[in-house]
Amino acid sequence: MPDADQEAARLEAAALDYLRWIATTFGSVTVECAVRFGDPAEQILEDADAWDADLIAMATRGRRCIGRVLLGSVAEQVFSKASTAVTLYRAAGR
The pTM for the full model equals 0.75
Residue 44 has pLDDT above 80, yes or no: yes
Task: Evaluate if residue 94 carries a pLDDT over 80.
Answer: no
Across 10-31, average pLDDT: 91
**Residue in 38, 13, 71 with CA at minimum distance from that of residue 21:** 13
Per-residue HEC secondary structure of 74-92 comes to HHHHHHHHCCCEEEEEECC
pLDDT of residue 70: 46
pLDDT in tens, 73-87: 888 899 899 999 999
User: In this structure, are residues 80 and 71 in contact, taking their beta carbons and an 8 Å threshold?
Assistant: no
Q: Which residues are paired to 60 by β-bridges? A: 90
Q: What is the mean pLDDT of residues 25-50?
A: 92
In the chain, the percentage of residues whose pLDDT exceeds 70 is 83
**Burial (Cβ within 10 Å: 0-12, 13-18, ≥19) of residue 83:** exposed
pLDDT of residue 29: 86
